[in-house]
Amino acid sequence: MSCESSFPPLPLAFEEMTKTLAQSPQPPLVIEDYPDAPQHGLLCRIRHWKVEGRQNEQGTAVSFLPSPDLHDVRYSATLNQGRAETRMTSIRLVIGIRLDCFHPKIATVSNTSIAMVLRHSALAVCLSVLLALDQNSSQANAQYLQNLDRTRITNPATNIQYDGYRYKAVPDNRAAWRNVIDLGRTEIIYLYYNCYYMNNICDNVDTFLSSPRGQNLHPGTTIPADQFTYDFDTGEESWTHQSGRREKSCPKSWGKARNCPEPSTKVPFRHDGPWWTKDVEAVGNTNMLKHERDSQTKNIIKRSGMRYTCDEFPPATWVEGGSGWANNQPANTRCAGHACLDPFAVVVNGNRVSVKAEQDWQARSHKTLRDVLLSRIEARNNEFTWHDPRNPQRDTAFFRFAAMDMGPDGNAAVVFKTDTTTGMDSNHEFISQARKRGLNITNPDEDGNPNEPTRVPHSRYGPSFEEALRRMRAGHYRVVEYIPAEFNDSSVTAEPTFRDMTDLRMRSAGSGDLHTNNKTSRRFEKPKRQGEKVPAAIHERAKPLLNAASSSDLEKARGIVTIAIAASSKLNKARLNSPLRNQYRLKPGTVIGGAIVNETRRTRRDDPEPPPLLEITDEIAWAAALLAEAEADMPQDGVKVPSRNITRRAAAGSYWMESIARKGIVPWGDEPSYAVFRNVLDYGATGNGVTDDTAAIKRAMNDGRRCGEKCNGSTVKNAIVYFPPGTYLISSTVPLPFGTQVIGDAINRPVLVASKTFIGLGVLSTDEYTGGGTGADGHDQQWYVNTANFYRQIRNVIIDVRPAPPSEEAACLHYQVAQATSMQNVELRAGAGQKGLFAENGSGGGISDVTFVGGDVCLYGGEQQFTAQRLVFSGCDVGVQVIWDWGWVWKSITMTDVKTGFKFVPDYPDGSIGSSLIMDSSFTNVGTVVVIQPPSSKPGSGSTGLVLENIAMSGVTTAVADTNGRTLLAASTRLDEWVLGPVYSSSADDGTRSFSSGGKVGKYRRDSALLDAQDAYYERPKPQYEDRGVGDFLHVRDFGAMGDGITDDTAAFQLAVDSSQGSI
């Protein structure tokens, strides 16, 4: 190995130095030892060398002394009075020299002597390199060790020793140890990426953390899985650790060798929203993302301003990055978006419009992290006296990291820390020796001596990232800086510089592409394209409330919510004890036969005024939303750390409904821009389970002058409110306007979860009240006439009310519907004292394929006439409690681990339950299948009619019993038919009435042509075409239909039908 090939920049460095000194009238030179050299002079550090020169004619001594920091590779030259710093070296060496030249007249040495000294210095370096290199391995490779070594550290401020860590970059006994500064003994610095914006970078994180190395990042230690080590030896200069790691993981040839986009690449985000495609321009092989073009002219509408460049994880600025000393533990790499200067971009106000992308946000977050760490270290210099702020590259520092999808909250990354004023309180859980991970020391170079007994450090690492984030959101930990994903003019001026941050380099771009102008914010505009789904723009109000909330805001919110929950609990309980039923009477003032009706003609009973529900004011909604975020639990699968199943939040699902082109209009809505289909993400919802989505969902519900309070009813402005997959945190009741269909992804159902500070009776409500006076029919104080609450649907969602305060006795759904309504493929989860579905009143409708989990009563309420199919009940105290009805059909009901299956008992003495038919159903581990009032054969007594048909029972105590405890039907394995109640003979001319006290009626039989393989009446769910893609659907407007209510669309509709074979 020749000196020139291993150390090519060195001769150039000395040559330039010689030229500079030769051009100076009196070229100065001072040579001093490390580390006490001033900022001027020449410092030479050479391993095992000490060269002393003769004094020259001016009496200046020349000497070269060995350096204690032998593993560094450093060459820097400060030239002339401006001290413009340039550094030239090869980082492939295990020895370092630093050369500083300064112009002031401190000493004078002849040019010849300097050249001689420099030549001798070069020779010494070359010899030293040859001596230092390991001839048996290729470890002159610019790579470094990736693990830490345990040590005892003395706190100078307290003189107390504690177990900590130190770091050596190369496996050389003569190499210097670097300090690993652990701020976490009193404060911890946290960094997280928001995967909503940094989607490809987060996938890279996920891939690495799922790898064997990612699962055991620091073998032989008890360092938490989410703790990393920042290496302050940063910079683009080739001798820095950062540059060495980066060059190995992402060499300059990476862009040409990597085929971007990769199959799993996500659509990259810009500062103004997701780009329209992930594909690259076909010409140039520059990895430039495709520009937007007009679908007809192919002219560019908007330039992408982004290229794919190399992202590596762990990053090169972290000790854990690179490929390791033995080149066998590489970082994971992936194509990720990076902003670049586009010379053809639009110029606005004299500035060329530029963009920001995920690698830009990542770079800024790393710069912020570095600055915060150094700032906190310097602020506590009495504890870290060895830290030299002028030479931070000698140290490293711990911090905590996670990648999670926080939704479109406006922040691409966040750096926060524990509050030093409150410190680490005793409620936190810390990693102790008893709970340490398994130790696995396999590589002595990487992890120490495997023969040495393992000694576990006793330092406290602080709360888990999930716990820390929860406390940060609650205001206990302080956010240091948000890295915004959206940029405006004011944020640009405050943007920090990125000197020494290699993350900003575009490896596949030329130097001209690295230039950035002042940015001008541009909102995402809907492009003029065909056949492409346009991703939703980032909503301006999507940022979490906690981002702007102070501690006093939180305390104020807690006070408001505490009072509101107490009031809501009292009112909810009163309403549940006295529901508002249908009232069958004429409106006062109605004219019949010339007479005016002033009093009730048909009154079921003299109902008192129904108990009101809590009015949720804007202040209560704000307070509930703020506390919902502060007290939200981190989703169990939301944080990307080792040994954890990783899932993403509201990612675009594969269900066709989200992506299909929307071409419908509301011809009589008097609003041309009215949106029939509205995706809640377009209105600012996040679906991440920790950001309150209540306000965003309400915006989606109410956009476009919907039919709400005091509307009574309308058919001209119906809407579909769509929920992509995700977990949507809801802090107060969301009313559903008239004619609303709530639809979720049928393949991956979204979860609507009540917050811990939820306020209201139902998470979703179709049963809203005006709060006083009379309703539209002169009786009910409601938004809509209860028997005319039409055109509703809820399907493909999971509603979880269990986190809500138990005292509120809340329900998943506060439900009131009439005809033309349905509920399908829904799961309702309730806890002790809660309800799955609470229906006070209404008319008809159907529910099917609904699962009820938990609660004191899974389904509670009454309706006129209803049909329920394929319902599943599990873990309820009471499966169904009907407090009034006319007639209800229950088919294919499955109940498991339920104390009482059906409770057909009115909640007031003179009430009654009409009749119920239960068929083709099964009951397992159920106490009593049906409980009714004692039957009576007397006409008009209000006795309940009950029919059981094709029933299977297992582990059932009693089949049918009355409220007096009398068994009307004993349990059996199978029941073909059993009838209780009045029976009317159709063969008798006078319709003879008889009464069955339980048993078969007539000649019971089923037509086999109507039965399935299980001898149940054949049925099937309404198809949702989950297995079909967008291309399988036809739109009648594509065949000429106008849908404007004026044009005759018969021919166009017929053409669509004729063309639909094989399509939907």
Please say if the pLDDT value at position 772 is more than 70. Answer: no
- Alpha carbon 684 to its chain centroid, in Å, reads 13
- Domain annotation covers residue 299: yes
Residue 741 neighbours by CB under 8 Å, 6+ apart: 718, 719, 720, 721, 792, 793, 794, 795
- List, for residues 1045-1059, the tens digit of each pLDDT value: 889 989 989 998 988
- Domain annotation covers residue 695: yes
Nearest CA to 737 among 717, 708, 763?
708
Contact 846, 819 (CB under 8 A): no
SS3 737: coil
Contact 179, 394 (CB under 8 A): yes
Domain count within the chain: 5
Tokens of 118: 């420099």
Which has the minimum average pLDDT: 55-64, 258-267, 406-415, 761-770? 55-64
Residue type, 1040: G
DSSP 447: H
Residue type, 855: G
Please say if the pLDDT value at position 96 is more than 60. Answer: no
**Do both 999 and 1044 map to the same domain?**
no
The residue-averaged pLDDT of 135-156 equals: 70
Tokens of 540: 């301006």
Quick one: CA dihedral 875, 879, 881, 882, positive or negative?
positive
- Domain annotation covers residue 723: yes
Supply the CATH number for residue 882's domain. 2.160.20.10
Q: What is the pLDDT of residue 952?
A: 95
**Do both 261 and 303 map to the same domain?**
yes
Nearest CA to 703 among 720, 715, 687, 686?
720
- List, for residues 596-623, the tens digit of each pLDDT value: 555 443 444 445 566 778 888 888 998 9
Dihedral, 731, 736, 740, 742 alpha carbons, nearest 10: 30
Q: How confident is the model at residue 653 (pLDDT cuts 50, 70, 90)?
A: low
Residue type, 523: R
**Do both 581 and 506 map to the same domain?**
no
Contact 724, 745 (CB under 8 A): yes
- Domain annotation covers residue 540: no
DSSP 289: B
Q: How confident is the model at residue 434 (pLDDT cuts 50, 70, 90)?
A: very low
**Which of 24-38, 432-446, 720-734 has the highest average model confidence (pLDDT)?**
720-734
**Which of 211-215, 332-336, 445-449, 677-681 has the highest average model confidence (pLDDT)?**
332-336
Residue type, 922: S
**CA separation for the pair 560, 618 (Å, rounded):** 11
Nearest CA to 192 among 690, 772, 732?
690
Nearest CA to 16 among 98, 84, 96, 77?
77
**Do both 65 and 99 map to the same domain?**
yes
The residue-averaged pLDDT of 656-685 equals: 85
DSSP 722: E
Mean pLDDT score of the chain, rounded to an integer?
72
| Domain extent for 387 | 149-514
Q: How confident is the model at residue 594 (pLDDT cuts 50, 70, 90)?
A: low
- Domain annotation covers residue 525: no
**CA separation for the pair 708, 783 (Å, rounded):** 7
More confident residue, 586 or 573: 573
- Domain annotation covers residue 90: yes
Angle at 969 between CA 963 and CA 971, to 5 degrees: 110
SS3 518: coil
**CA separation for the pair 927, 900 (Å, rounded):** 6
Residue type, 961: A
More confident residue, 47 or 477: 477
**CA separation for the pair 406, 410 (Å, rounded):** 9
More confident residue, 377 or 490: 377
- Beta strand 595-596 pairing with 591-592: antiparallel
- Domain annotation covers residue 527: no
**Do both 724 and 852 map to the same domain?**
no
**CA separation for the pair 651, 679 (Å, rounded):** 12
Q: Bin 705: left if φ > 0, else alpha if -120 < ψ < 50, else beta.
A: left
- Domain annotation covers residue 122: yes
Residue 767 neighbours by CB under 8 Å, 6+ apart: 782, 786, 814, 815, 816, 839, 840, 841, 842
Q: What is the pLDDT of residue 476?
A: 66
Q: What is the pLDDT of residue 222?
A: 84
**CA separation for the pair 665, 182 (Å, rounded):** 61
Helix 199-209 / helix 358-379 crossing angle, nearest 10 deg: 70
Q: What is the pLDDT of residue 769?
A: 60
Residue 247 neighbours by CB under 8 Å, 6+ apart: 91, 142, 238
**Do both 441 and 562 map to the same domain?**
no
The residue-averaged pLDDT of 944-968 equals: 93
**Helix or strand (DSSP H, E) at 79:** strand 77-79
Q: What is the pLDDT of residue 981?
A: 84
Q: What is the pLDDT of residue 162?
A: 82
Beta strands, E only, 418-464: none
**CA separation for the pair 1041, 1047 (Å, rounded):** 8
Q: How confident is the model at residue 184 (pLDDT cuts 50, 70, 90)?
A: confident
**Do both 1000 and 1044 map to the same domain?**
no
Query: Which residue(s) pair with 677 in the sheet?
Result: 720
Please say if the pLDDT value at position 962 is more than 50. Answer: yes
More confident residue, 877 or 781: 877
Query: Which residue(s) pair with 996 in the sheet?
Result: 981
DSSP 875: S
- Final residue of a structural domain among 514, 535, 566: 514
Nearest CA to 1035 among 1015, 1009, 1050, 1055?
1055
Residue 22 main-chain phi, psi, to 5 deg: -65, -30
Please say if the pLDDT value at position 974 is more than 90. Answer: yes
Please say if the pLDDT value at position 159 is more than 70. Answer: yes
**CA separation for the pair 50, 65 (Å, rounded):** 5
Cα distances from 62 to residues 42, 57, 76, 520, 1025, in angstroms, run 10, 12, 19, 56, 85
**CA separation for the pair 967, 998 (Å, rounded):** 11
**Do both 942 and 816 map to the same domain?**
no
Please say if the pLDDT value at position 900 is more than 90. Answer: yes
**Do both 860 and 996 map to the same domain?**
yes
Angle at 60 between CA 56 and CA 62, to 5 degrees: 90
Cα distances from 533 to residues 530, 677, 719, 1063, in angstroms, run 8, 14, 20, 20
Residue 418 neighbours by CB under 8 Å, 6+ apart: 186, 187, 188, 424, 462, 468, 477, 478
Tokens of 636: 């169990």
First to last CA, the chain: 71
Q: What is the pLDDT of residue 353?
A: 57
**Do both 749 and 889 map to the same domain?**
no
**CA separation for the pair 848, 825 (Å, rounded):** 7
Of the chain, the percentage scoring pLDDT greater than 70 comes to 64
The residue-averaged pLDDT of 106-111 equals: 28
- List, for residues 201-235, the tens digit of each pLDDT value: 999 999 999 999 999 999 988 888 889 999 999 98
**Do both 189 and 115 map to the same domain?**
no
- Beta strand 811-814 pairing with 751-765: parallel
Query: Which residue(s) pair with 859 in the sheet?
Result: 837, 880
Q: How confident is the model at residue 143 (pLDDT cuts 50, 70, 90)?
A: confident
DSSP characters over 900-942: EEEEE--SSTT--EEEEEEEEEEEEEEEEEEEEPPP--STTS-
**Do both 899 and 921 map to the same domain?**
yes
Exposure pattern of 609-630 as b/e (b: 16+ CB <10 Å)?
ebbebbebeeebbbbbbbbbbb
Q: How confident is the model at residue 790 (pLDDT cuts 50, 70, 90)?
A: low
Please state the pTM of the whole predicted model. 0.57
Tokens of 809: 């006795």
Contact 1039, 1059 (CB under 8 A): yes
Contact 200, 189 (CB under 8 A): no
Please say if the pLDDT value at position 734 is more than 70. Answer: yes
Q: What is the pLDDT of residue 600?
A: 44
